[in-house]
Amino acid sequence: MNKKRVGVIGGGQLAWMMATATEKLGIDLLIQTPHKDDPAVAIAHEVIFAPIEDAKATQQLAEKCDVITFENEFIDLEALEKLESHGVNFRPKLSALSPLLDKYQQRNYLKSINIPVPKFTTLERSSSSKFDFPLVIKARRHGYDGQGTFIIKNSEELNNLLKKVNNIPLMVEEHISFERELAIMVARNTKGEIVTYPVVETYQKEQVCHWVIAPANISETIQLEAKKIAGHLVSHLDVVGIFGIEFFLTAEGKLLVNEIAPRTHNSGHYTLDTCDISQFEMQLRAVTNQPLGSTELNCLGAVMVNLLGYENSHHDYQIKRQKMANLSNTYVHWYGKMESRPGRKLGHVTRLIHDNKIAPESMAKEIESIWYGDN
């Protein structure tokens, strides 16, 4: 039997973490990525070295693959649409990505299909809006891991920001005083089958996710509402693949969608160690016309902690990684990046919960004390 050949645009850790699933499913993974030291290069069947937005390279990738999916959304949509019109099979389809890549357009789209979002506008229109400080300003394209997101407390901070951004298109939104931040992974295949993973709680600091608790300690009503929103979104977009959805839960118990990631997502990394089918396998199952399968946890829960760079160095942090690995029921995933810099995601750690005697927050802080301690 011929192996399915799946192309992935992007060669970072999200593609790298597909490795176990490709072996399990009998898939050859072909990658388009710009750098020889990008994580997924080590596990790919074949690599086309080119920038993510290079559509000519994507054409070469398509000639070698049955289907192309995405590890990130830094693509040239218009150029890829020409390829799609000539028969290149993208999953999700580009029409499912089109309303989401620009954050302002994403918000407009969500609002148009009755998904609740914070109040928002463009920077150009904000002078006539009724937003009070603090407010949130986001770059409309290419923001990730907190980059391109700014919490603005007063007019002086706003003016200083505007001097720095050099006319980058920006979105302005109200600052939500939330009770907690939540996220959910949702997958859909070509037959319209939809599955959702448990709703998780994410802990953010300076707009960067530091840890995730799965499942979130929330009411069944909130869980069902999150799943309903997720199903509504992927059905309306006719998605084939997996999406991550981030929410604010307000003090009044209302869910507001913060952002959509049209791919695997940091909030779903825990699934590698807690589910029979990880989010990465689920993406590959969806795009290759396979049944999606179970999203159930095989333990009470888990804490996932991001290992964020805290210095500029070339270091593999082997001693710290071993200390974390020595903790009970703990799995260290190191992305093999050669260079550390502040805020860069170098790996993550998942710690399984087998009893409820220890608070998940304490488990996360123990891991962080090893990682950030003695710097």
Domain termination site, one of 174, 195, 214: 174
Give the pLDDT of residue 286. 98
Please name the residue that has the structure tokens 């992927």. Answer: 234
Give binding residues for ATP as ranges: 103, 138, 173-176, 181, 258-259
- Which amino acid, one-letter code, is at 91? R
% pLDDT > 70, the chain: 97
3-state helix, strand, coil in the chain (%, to 5): 30, 30, 40
| Total domains in the fold of the chain | 3
Average pLDDT over every residue of 34-46: 97
With a cut of 60, say whether residue 214 has pLDDT above it.
yes
With a cut of 60, say whether residue 68 has pLDDT above it.
yes
Report the distance separating Cα 85 and Cα 83, nearest Å.
Answer: 5
pLDDT, tens digit, 9 for 90 and up, residues 132-174: 889 999 988 876 655 788 899 998 888 888 888 877 888 999 9
With a cut of 50, say whether residue 322 has pLDDT above it.
yes
pLDDT, tens digit, 9 for 90 and up, residues 50-62: 999 999 999 999 9
Whether residue 264 sits in one domain with residue 189: yes
Average pLDDT over every residue of 226-247: 98
Whether residue 255 sits in one domain with residue 190: yes
Give binding residues as ranges: 103, 138, 173-176, 181, 258-259
Whether residue 66 sits in one domain with residue 10: yes
Whether residue 251 sits in one domain with residue 287: yes
Beta bridge partners of 331: 350
With a cut of 60, say whether residue 11 has pLDDT above it.
yes
Whether residue 65 sits in one domain with residue 139: no
What average pLDDT does the chain have? 94
With a cut of 80, say whether residue 337 has pLDDT above it.
yes
The answer as to whether 274 is a domain residue is: yes
7 Cβ contact partners less than 8 Å away, ≥ 6 residues apart: 30, 31, 32, 58, 61, 62, 64, 65, 67, 68, 69
Strand order in the sheet with 135-139: 120-122, 170-174, 135-139, 149-152
Give the domain range for residue 288. Answer: 178-372
With a cut of 50, say whether residue 128 has pLDDT above it.
no
Report the distance separating Cα 73 and Cα 239, nearest Å.
Answer: 15
Q: Copy the structure tokens of residue 374.
A: 């003695």
Considering only 136-150, 239-253, 336-350, which range has the smallest mean pLDDT? 136-150
Give the pLDDT of residue 240. 98
Domain termination site, one of 130, 147, 174: 174
Look up the CATH number of the domain holding residue 170.
Answer: 3.30.1490.20
Average pLDDT over every residue of 321-328: 97
With a cut of 50, say whether residue 311 has pLDDT above it.
yes
At 252, is the secondary structure helix, strand, or coil? coil
Whether residue 57 sits in one domain with residue 198: no
Q: Which of the four pLDDT bands, split at 50, 70 and 90, describes residue 292?
A: very high
Q: Copy the structure tokens of residue 151.
A: 């919490």
The answer as to whether 210 is a domain residue is: yes
Whether residue 357 sits in one domain with residue 322: yes
The answer as to whether 165 is a domain residue is: yes
Look up the CATH number of the domain holding residue 343.
Answer: 3.30.470.20
Whether residue 155 sits in one domain with residue 67: no
Give the pLDDT of residue 278. 98
